[in-house]
Structure 1
Amino acid sequence: MKLFGAPKIPLDDIAGLERETPNLIVYAIPVMAFFTLLEVGHSWYKKRNLYKTKESIGSTLVGLGNVLINFLIKGLLIYGAVWIYNLLPWRMELNWWMLIPCYVLFDLCSYWSHRISHENRFFWASHIVHHSAETYNLTVSFRLSWIQNIKIIFFIPLALIGFHPLVFFVVSQISVLFQFWVHTEYIKKMHPIFEYIFATPSNHRVHHGCNEKYLDKNYAATFIFWDRMFGTYQIEEEKPDYGITSKIGNRLDPWFLNFHELKEMAIDVKKAKGAREKLFYAFASPTAVYNKKKSLMVAKEKGERNKRGS
């Protein structure tokens, strides 16, 4: 079976390639809506209070906006993937069994993209919307940033391997869909083997916790063994406290949810003195920024108390 040496994809065939690339996420919307409404109904019936109306509507609006943006730029992304593919002398043929190795490597790229998004404030601004929900339910999976496509740079190494663009884009959609079902409290811990291999609801609940022991843990999208390999795994113990360390409350406005951190970052950078401090507020870890701002606030309050007491 021939693997490498596939012919180049003519650029004038991109429109056809775009039509051939299935919109799996769009097709899955009715299924996701069904299970979400099922969870909403059961939560309401059992009085579990897993949903806050404004927060859930905000999540849905963010998700619909993300789907629309991805639909609008789909052609541009495919063009970029084809351009890279055509540059490579080791282009792979279109074989659907290549979904398996491509998926595993895609998940590795996802791990590092996700991890850097937590360790670098600039990229955190493109991810914070997903973590700002203070409840944990299926609508949280809809909270995908409108500017998250800037993180496509972390997947360029995968494109350089030579996978056919169709394989690449199908894998990316399957990865997103896998992450839908893990955003629930209804599924408890699963079989130990499954928990060891996959990013299950239990493993992912840890990731959404802002408890100190849960911060910056369990980044994997599908295969949790990446976290075990790279030292970022944490088992679920006590119930997580969901949301970010600086709570934003029960918010509906999708514009605020997507861009409040970018606005806050711009304000911090503008106020900072010197290039080093400006770079800190733009690119340091969100935890370091939070701790610094907290210590400055404490020092300011202490100074004001001393001033009043003198």
Structure 2
Amino acid sequence: MKEKITLDKVMSSAPDLILYAAPVLIALALLEFYFSWKQKKELYEKKDFFASLSIGLVSVIQNLFIKTLLFGSVIWVYNIVPWSIPVNWATSILCFIVLDFFRYWAHRFGHETSIFWATHVTHHNSEKYNLSTSFRLSWTQQIKVVFFLPISFLGFHPVIFFICHQIAVLYQFWIHTEYIRTLPKWISYIFVTPSHHRVHHGKNEHYLDKNYGSTFIFWDRIFGTFQPEDEQAVYGILEQPKHYNPVKLVFHVWVDIFKNMKRAGSIKKATLILFQSPSSLKKYE
């Protein structure tokens, strides 16, 4: 019979890699900011940079307070199933691959349904593409934990899951840059690269809703969402905000959703709005 995992044990065993890495990531973004300014590349806009930094810092602080809830839900699922997967290097790598599969689908639903687009749009509503863009993580993205509970159901240990999850999040940082243009083909065939992710952030017509991969790009090749970079991406979203207010950048799609739900006329129609395509949302200024 497997040992029951407690919240205290997981929190004491799973290092907060993102918190430790935050100062280094901010320093690297500032360095890129400096080189962009020095070389007159215009990859940064001052107000946009501080909006991204503000959103990111609030997200880090927020996670310190709510990670107990997130840890708790994952641990609860792990404890109720009677099986578990042994912890070793091979199963840890397998956990990372399985996690990346679910991250692909969480990301894809984040573009294809209104409720999850509202938790993700903040990451896309900048017209600049640089390392600081990786800081733009919505303060409501935690509801996407529902996509990751199956990993605990499969029997992967919660500590391994959280370490893999944090590594996957940190991987996202370096791919948000214009400075790295191309990489060897074998890398680009397996892993998500800056080139792949620039496509994902582009609002060029044939770039929309492409390259959802988190760490591995082969999911996009398998599920038909892969698009190579064949022209310079135009960044931002189709309904581009005309301000740099961090709060509005986080919640503007939620506002649209609730206004649409209020006018729906019935609970059924209001509920369906949450799961319709974001393109079906009527925008309210």
The aligned counterpart of 1:89 is 82
Which among 41, 47, 50 is matched to residue 57 of structure 1? 50
Distance of 1:77 and 1:277 partners within structure 2: 30
Say whether 1:221 aligns with 2:221.
no
After superposition, the CA RMSD in angstroms is 1.8
Give me the identity figure in percent.
45
Where in structure 2 are the equivalents of 1:144-293 lying within 5 Å? 144-251=137-244, 253-273=245-265, 278-279=270-271, 281-289=273-281
Q: Contact 2:75/2:152 (CA < 8 Å) preserved in 1? A: no
Q: Contact 2:257/2:281 (CA < 8 Å) preserved in 1? A: no
Where in structure 2 are the equivalents of 1:72-83 lying within 5 Å? 72-83=65-76
TM-score when normalising by structure 2: 0.94
Aligned-pair distance for 1:282?
Answer: 3.1
Say whether 1:138 aligns with 2:131.
yes
Instruction: Choose 1 or 2 for highest CA Rg.
Output: 1
Distance of 2:203 and 2:264 partners within structure 1: 27
Distance of 2:269 and 2:70 partners within structure 1: 35
Could you list the per-position Cα deviations for residues 224-261 of structure 1 after superposition, in whole angstroms to 9, with x for gaps in the alignment? Answer: 0000000000011111110000111341x221111111
Query: How many residue pairs are counted as aligned between the two chains?
Result: 284
Could you list the per-position Cα deviations for residues 256-281 of structure 1 after superposition, in whole angstroms to 9, with x for gaps in the alignment? Answer: 11111101111122234556754554
Distance of 1:266 and 1:240 partners within structure 2: 31
The aligned counterpart of 1:7 is 3
Distance 1:280 1:15, change over 3 A: closer
Give the stretch that moved more between structures: 262-271 or 220-229.
262-271
Q: Contact 2:168/2:214 (CA < 8 Å) preserved in 1? A: yes
Aligned-pair distance for 1:122?
Answer: 1.1
Distance of 2:86 and 2:271 partners within structure 1: 44
Give the stretch that moved more between structures: 156-165 or 217-226.
156-165
Q: Contact 2:110/2:119 (CA < 8 Å) preserved in 1? A: yes
Distance of 1:282 and 1:90 partners within structure 2: 35
Could you list the per-position Cα deviations for residues 161-206 of structure 1 after superposition, in whole angstroms to 9, with x for gaps in the alignment? Answer: 1111100100110000000000000000211111111110000000
Long gaps (5+) in structure 1: 295-310
Q: Contact 2:110/2:120 (CA < 8 Å) preserved in 1? A: yes
Aligned-pair distance for 1:220?
Answer: 0.5
Long gaps (5+) in structure 2: none
Where in structure 2 are the equivalents of 1:20-39 lying within 5 Å? 20-39=13-32
Could you list the per-position Cα deviations for residues 102-130 of structure 1 after superposition, in whole angstroms to 9, with x for gaps in the alignment? Answer: 00000000000110111001111010000
The aligned counterpart of 1:118 is 111
Distance 1:77 1:188, change over 3 A: same
